[in-house]
Amino acid sequence: MVINTNGKRKTAKARATLKEDGNGKVRVNNRPLSAWTRTTKLRIQEPLKIAGELTEDVDIKVKVNGGGIQSQAEAVRMAIARALAEHSDGSELREKYLEYDRHMLVEDYRRTETRKPSQSSKGARHKQQKSYR
């Protein structure tokens, strides 16, 4: 059985494929999880640690692109958590994820604010400097 899920954070998009009858391998962009930096690797491993023994008999492959390193790690984390929650068939693991951190399963809807017309290109609310003298 194969389960396909996705995860998004800002502009980073991750697609996870979970295959049963594996041996617990997790690969991100065809590289092992150990290739990531320490902090991002710990962030990605959170759903695996919460799931516990469930991850020992599945293989997970994740493709991620867009965004920065941290956003990619968050997107991968979400995709893995969604795949494991769907694989477990029970709401028990899903509730564990929601209790630990809601953003493991639910997308963060915030986006960057658009720049307003007749303002400088520095940001959405940046105004021209005004001189009184």
The answer to whether residue 13 sits within a structural domain is yes
Residue 33: CATH number of its domain: 3.30.230.10
The answer to whether residue 69 sits within a structural domain is yes
For 82-124, the pLDDT digits (tens) are 999 999 887 889 999 999 999 999 998 888 888 888 776 788 8
Q: Determine if residue 123 is left, alpha or beta; phi over 0 gives left, psi from -120 to 50 gives alpha, anything else beta.
A: left
- Paired tokens of 113: 């604010």
pTM of the full structure: 0.85
36-40 mean pLDDT? 90
The answer to whether residue 128 sits within a structural domain is no
Burial class of 1 by CB neighbour count within 10 A (0 to 12, 13 to 18, 19+)? exposed
- Paired tokens of 26: 């997790």
The answer to whether residue 131 sits within a structural domain is no
Determine the structural domain holding residue 32 and report its residue range: 2-104
